[in-house]
Amino acid sequence: SVPTRSLRSAGLFASLFLQGLADQSVCFRAAAIIFSTGPRLMFDFSQFSAGNLSGAREILESLPYIGEYTRPSTALEFVQHNLLASRNSSA
């Protein structure tokens, strides 16, 4: 089975990227999380680039079981609670 927490993280990072709220490094992190959850979720990391939003969107739409975690409100909550905290701790 695929860890729910990994899927949630992957969906949130990908959502941030697709909304233009995350840079490419964050989106590659999302790709790594998705990739690490198992072979059934493997895809080409290059799809997650600023020049290929449609490719990234297509990948997300092919993974319906993370779709519930790509709502904007959820992603924004994630920014507030996780991304900002990680930036502060690394500063």
Note the pLDDT tens digit of each residue in 37-88. Answer: 544 443 444 444 444 545 555 555 554 444 444 443 444 444 445 545 555 5
- Through-space distance between the first and last CA atoms of the chain, rounded to whole angstroms: 36
What was the pLDDT predicted at 63?
A: 46
Quote the crossing angle between the two packed helices 4-18 and 53-61, to the nearest 10°. Answer: 150
Question: Is the entire prediction scored with pTM above 0.75?
Answer: no
| DSSP symbol at 47 | G
User: What is the Cα–Cα distance from 11 to 7, expressed in whole angstroms?
Assistant: 6
